[in-house]
Structure 1
Amino acid sequence: MPDEALLAAITSAVYRGVLVELFVGEEADQLLVGHAQRSYYQSLLEAGVVVHLYPAPTVLHGKYLTVDDRVALIGSSNMDFRSFALTYEIMLLAFGGDLVRDLQANDAAYRVASRELTLQEWAGRPWHERYLDNVCRLTAALM
């Protein structure tokens, strides 16, 4: 779950014309975390982030990103304060080479298996789902 600074960085990148894709599982393995994570989708979709939902029952637990065809970041860290500051997480920063290509190939496979979540679909959710997502978001700092 992104903090406000990371959310601003992601959305401002999209506003600058950067294609930002997010691959997430259609279902999470933890109820509270899953709903808290979903509470950010509205802002991301409104900004133009492409959200791909990977079909259940698979839970995507990979943590990586690629930038253009040159940079990759992969490791155990989530994109949250706990991972950055409180736990002993590790990330590898790579420039070029096979790792970037391999991760991009993985993205391509994810795209084929996933479906894109639209803002219209997300906005049409029942009120009780939105309520549950937002209540769980209040507990995000504890997770």
Structure 2
Amino acid sequence: MQKRVRAVLVTPNDTMLLIKRIRPGIPAYWVIVGGKVEPTDASPEDALRREVREEIAGEAEIVSLLHTIETDDEHQDFYLARIEKWNFADRTGPEFSQEGRGEYLLEEIPLTTAAIDAVNLLPQQFAAVLREAVAHGGLLTAR
């Protein structure tokens, strides 16, 4: 079973960082920063910190586990985290240099239900969980 970790990264501006994916032939969509847990990662949290460093050259402070999605072949943990600084130009993840992967654009999205509704955030199951958490103030602990 493939294990993945993702982080809702809350900034000092009360926004969250999302990656907009633009790929040929399909509508644009947004994803939460994160990726695969590698065998060399000491824990899921260490994997998440590594992914944040690779994808946005930032350091995340993990606050809590928000949600888990498990299917027959994949386990995804979604965390709430704070981030103070990042530099998308200094990203180092291998996916950014692979031919045919499309574009990756980092965007700051307000922590509002309207902003979440305005983007095609995937997976949709987590988008619904995130929307509910924002609607009920569940992300205020990250401030």
Structure-2-length-normalised TM-score: 0.29
Greater share of helix: 1
Greater share of strand: 2
Structure-1-length-normalised TM-score: 0.29
